[in-house]
Chains A and B, each alone.
Chain A
């Protein structure tokens, strides 16, 4: 895609997510009391309002819930087409990630495809992208 990825502003809520890739971890906030996940990440559980929250390294695999092939260069230099997908994470009920599916032709992507995380680092941010598994 050739242009720098827009860079998230790190804070206490999102730092484990955007920097987890340094250790190969896909971190999602998990409640120590009810066990449910909260994403986008917060220090308060959206299911039971517990403040006993910590990042949990999840499996990093999932399935494609939906996707679109983007053909529009939204910024100068953006190479198209590419796949934007919503991935349903294995073992993390109710949590989806918007991401890119990389490492395959755009027309090789389909619903329910099994995918696995692969991190792309840029200036200390580890962007969780996904590639087809198997």
Chain B
């Protein structure tokens, strides 16, 4: 327990589903209560809130709850909070909280991400999709060409990887197969059964090389992690997990001008801020909004050379729960649901505490990496059980 560190203490998650009827605030409260219970904390001890990307009134399904609203709903007296999209990817909300507790601005910070995209789509009368006359901002450079989805943008990075380095669809499939196999052991996961290579290969194509099982899907849930200061963890009853390092970057503020996805510089930067090395890592929880993205993270974090990520996961044994580098043991977003980044931190902590139940990886994992983001924005956390 070094001086002036930041720790993840309580973690919590709501029910995870599609087209849920419980309100977004209700789901958020469920996740907060679970995190407080695990930590043995009360709302009176919470003095900070951090979220990404903040409430988005135009796209309530994407982000229905902001920091201000949660502070109001919980009756908190906070000394620090933040919530915004102008951060390098989702887990930067946790890095910001870590900096806040290290700077003495808060002692226990609720970090949360609530998503409600499936329910919002199903209830357009409550969550009208914006009827926009124009596209502006970054979308003006892609939407006019019907490159509407991040699937289209990310697919082009993946196609180039296949061309340049010989990555195959069979290799991409391992990310999805691993995700489904692990999700089948996670009681909260959307997916309930394993996926076969035949099912993967015969699924309809979305945007080459991505078929249906290469893409995550809209999910309703809330995920919470509490970040606590060094001098506050003796108030906590669960095993604190230290945030040993964090990194985040934006390669270009644009999906189509970047030469590389930001996992590469972010992965490099993470190791500049710690004495740990990739060989010390017991499990990785890598953002898989699309199957290709964990491959970029494995390369960017230095678990293999750039261009070797496809071969690294070939056959799937290396990233399986009993493999040398267990990956996305909760099912990732492809299997457990699109928790939008926070699921990876939640699972890393779960595994380091040995609380994974049927999906717990063997041994006594002590160091984990959790990442979020893909394309031009990326954030990574290195977590350690001291």
Contact = CB atoms under 8 A, between A and B. Distances in A.
Interface of A: 1, 5-9, 11, 14, 39-40, 65-72, 74-75, 78, 82, 84-86, 94-100, 111, 125, 127, 129
B133 interface: yes
A66 B144 contact: no
Contacts of A94: 257
B256 A127 contact: no
Contacts of A69: 205, 207-208
B160 interface: yes
Contacts of A5: 144-146
Contact of A8 (B144, B153, B157, B256): B144
B237 interface: no
Given A8-B134, A66-B157, A98-B256, A84 B147 contact: yes
A105 B210 CA distance: 20
Contacts of A14: 140
B100 to A, nearest CB: 32
A5 B148 CA distance: 11
A96 B147 CA distance: 14
A71 B207 contact: yes
Question: Among A65, A68, A84, A86, which residue has the most Cβ atoms of chain B within 10 A?
Answer: A68
Most buried by B among A7, A40, A98: A98
A99 B147 CA distance: 8
B229 interface: no
The 7 A-B pairs at the shortest CB distance, nearest first, are namely: A9-B134, A68-B155, A74-B148, A8-B140, A66-B156, A6-B143, A66-B160
B146 A74 contact: yes
A35 B255 CA distance: 24
Contacts of A111: 160, 163
Nearest to B215: A72
Given A67-B159, A70-B152, A72-B206, A7 B135 contact: yes
B254 interface: yes
Contacts of A71: 204-208
Contacts of A100: 145-146
B142 interface: yes
A127 B207 contact: no
Nearest to A81: B205
Most B-side CB within 10 Å, residue of A6, A71, A95, A97: A6
Contacts of B139: 6
A82 B146 contact: yes
Contacts of B208: 68-69, 71
Nearest to A79: B146
A82 B207 CA distance: 10
B149 interface: yes
Given A68-B210, A98-B256, A111-B163, 11 more contacts: A5-B146, A6-B139, A7-B144, A9-B133, A9-B136, A9-B140, A68-B156, A75-B146, A96-B257, A98-B142, A100-B145
Contacts of B143: 6
A8 B136 CA distance: 6
27 contacts: A5-B144, A5-B146, A6-B135, A8-B134, A8-B136, A8-B140, A9-B134, A11-B136, A40-B138, A67-B156, A68-B156, A69-B207, A70-B147, A71-B204, A72-B207, A74-B149, A75-B148, A82-B146, A84-B146, A84-B156, A96-B256, A97-B256, A99-B145, A100-B145, A111-B163, A127-B145, A129-B145
